[in-house]
Structure 1
């Protein structure tokens, strides 16, 4: 991309109008109200993940007190909410603060190139079929880490022989009727756990077929503490207290599971056994091979998954597939599962930067080979932030810590007249690396080459908790590990 004659350079371009992008926009226009910015959104609506996925029962597996924006409290009674409610909440939040007027819909980022001479980014965008160039001093990639175009590829022997309907939840057909159908959902993660209770309401029977189980916890969909404090305290105070409660308890639970995995296993098993039908054993169906929080725990509001099992409309089979046949699935145990519909809830494909090519002076970079500075900026990449939330807490918490750090950095650059900030890593050969997404889930392991790396020393360490990241964003060093330049353009 040429960079001669760059005009109309925006201060910031945010890529993605999901929960991370809307939050970044709010922080930007609040902390730096004089800054010019726009949001590029490849699809036609605000909401990101919550606008894209439409499979039955789609909902959050994080509490909305912490998953919602800190600057616009979640006010609904149910704190584990359905996708439609969350999508509406994000859109209303964007509209209230005028953020929706900054969104350019059907604008898909194809590539971004940083010019050292111009000290600016040039973004090549597919604008509803037309190629356009946009320019910015700083870019915030709020694109999430899922590939919207393609799911995680999985080989299922004989699937082409199946005479019924095969569906991936990522591309659920609109108004698809599965009334009185026999359904098999392949998978054991949060998508499968979310689907089963909803499908069981109409299908004749739904079977969750899993190779190995996940941890599954039943939680009430309405928080008793929140209800009580909301009746005796002003709304702003009751929300803060309830949010703090979830922040502290969730953080404690994750740390407890890491420190005492055997005890955590026993506690989760005890809670699960209480919910199971009498004829369903805990082992092997609900006894994972890994420790709690090495992969995300699956939540079911009001125990809806277990309710579906107790009703007889849903069941779990732990086995491996030998082959799919015309009317079902043959298993290694010798059993056959009859099916009219097979749902392949086998995972999502990881993709960073929405698949766009990132270049520095026309030299492409490999995001998966770069370390993350403070979990926010890519090594050797000037004036760019990559928004990555938490895997063991609400995504929004990590996104907000990122946005606050970026705004503080932008203020510093402006005050000092600095034109670029570049994370530089000395003695990279001595750095021990790990994934920025600290999970052992199959989709994370398979997508490892796409994910930036974290290191074993500051400021390249992986994120550990919202409290420490929030402190670092507000009070920690914002120059350690950064190469700062003043270039006359």
Structure 2
């Protein structure tokens, strides 16, 4: 059987995969590539989730691509607007013609003798194999099939409707119903105010609080800048402004956590009014940015709580009952519909397996290089966005670097590019690297996956900065041949 040969294979047609295809089209037009998408639609996250109110949790000036301005007025966008933006971008750059739907990749093996990756999987139930020189994985970081669901006592006793955010029931009618949303993360705080508009009552039940930050859905500075400046210049300035702001907030949270905690608590207290115990419901036990901070536009969650359309309860579930849940405090919450917004299941590379010359690769043994490649793993890059800023800021930097790397390899007739610890053993700082999870968050979904995700080192370039300014200097403008990246 003849195996198709391509220069580059991109896995995933979400924000990262579409961006990677556009970068290759612009900067490496001589390279052949295809985007393999396991589902039957473009968009990844923004096509998968259908729950009420689903929206971006970053501003669109940084979540949009660096090369294609976001032109809509709202910069905290609904999923449908984001999906339209992705679809239009793919069409504008011709990337839509490179997408192969229903191509679910299950394995990739690097063959040293051929100096190529062999990518295999299923297409409409039939097996396929494609060979490529370079592999870019854009699969996100969570299991698309199902979210995380804790083991609740009596879960199967409940006789009402269960609506999982990741498998939202089509045409679910919740008007006039009592709804219980379990969770305190980005999904829960999005669903609660959206359902509260038509439900009889929505209760948000959280085991512990999350830091929540409110900002305008329409940035007044953006409105002013867009009126005065040409579209692309305005977009670049606003993108830079918001990127710098995210870096400032994150660094301030790490340097002066008490100051940030007080600010967020005071913002919540003013927004929800005196009838809600802010100390109990909006003051987490951890420091700001030890876990992801949640963004709400125009204080919509606070407004729903203040009006009484939604209520908040901080307690733990003792067990499910036929009509709702019983809490450890003894309180009972009755509900017609329960939404377990209890988090994601982290899954590196969407569950596919990697091997080198037939030997399986253990993901937990991999050491991150600049947040996008791994030691001793040739010709492979993974797009993994920021956890403390917009995902696309890092995705753009990663894709730009891969394009530079491919052109550098062509120019020097290299066939293999691979970051290597062995190559830099002469540097004392690399001899004994302290290792830590690649994502520096104490969030439950990360902690549950520590044995299945790559690690990072304690010094650059093995350390994941999670800082767009540092990364821009080292990734976009840094040397390709840095003494760590090896070529053959």
1:358 maps to 2:361: no
Query: Contact conserved, 2:370 with 2:475, CA < 8 A, in 1?
Result: no
Query: Number of residues paired by the alignment?
Result: 481
Conserved in 1, the CA contact under 8 Å of 2:3 and 2:129? no
Q: 1:314 & 1:224 partners in 2: Cα distance?
A: 28
CA RMSD of aligned residues (A): 1.4
Q: 2:25–2:93: 8 Å Cα contact kept in structure 1?
A: no
Residue in structure 2 matching 1:465, options 461, 464, 467: 467
Question: Match for residue 450 of structure 2?
Answer: 448
Q: Deviations over 1:191-246 (max 9, x none)?
A: 00000011111211111111100011221100001111212222222222222211
Q: Whole-Å Cα distance in 1 between the matches of residues 153 and 169 of structure 2?
A: 24
- Give 1:173's match in structure 2, choosing from 160, 166, 169: 169
Choose the corresponding residue for 1:379, options 371, 375, 379: 375
Contact 1:373 1:481 in 2 (8 A): no
8 A contact 1:16–1:41 mirrored in 2: yes
- Find the partner of 1:481 among 456, 462, 484: 484
**What is aligned with 2:248?**
252
2:157 matched to 1:154? no
User: What secondary structure is seen at the aligned counterpart in 1 of 2:278?
Assistant: coil
User: How high is the TM-score relative to the length of structure 2?
Assistant: 0.96
| Alignment partner, residue 432 of structure 1 | 434
TM-score, normalisation: structure 1: 0.96
Matches within 5 A, 1:84-483: 84-426=80-422, 430-479=432-481, 480-483=483-486
**Cα contact 1:6–1:135 (8 A) shared by 2:** no
Q: How far apart, in 1, do the equivalents of 2:53 and 2:43 lie?
A: 17
Shift of 1:139: 0.2
2:344 and 2:129 mapped to 1: Cα distance? Answer: 31
> Aligned partners of 1:365, 1:190: CA distance in 2, in Å?
33
CA contact (8 A) 2:135 2:381 kept: yes
Look up the SS of the partner of 1:212 in the other structure.
coil
Provide the rounded CA distance (Å) in 1 between the counterparts of 2:476 and 2:225: 29
* Candidates 19, 23, 31, aligned match of 1:35: 31
Shift of residue 20, structure 1, vs aligned partner:
0.5
Q: Could you tell me how far apart the structure 2 residues matched to 1:280 and 1:160 are? A: 32
1:478 deviates by: 2.3
Distance 2:287 2:328 in 1: 26
CA distance in 1, matches of 2:232, 2:464: 33
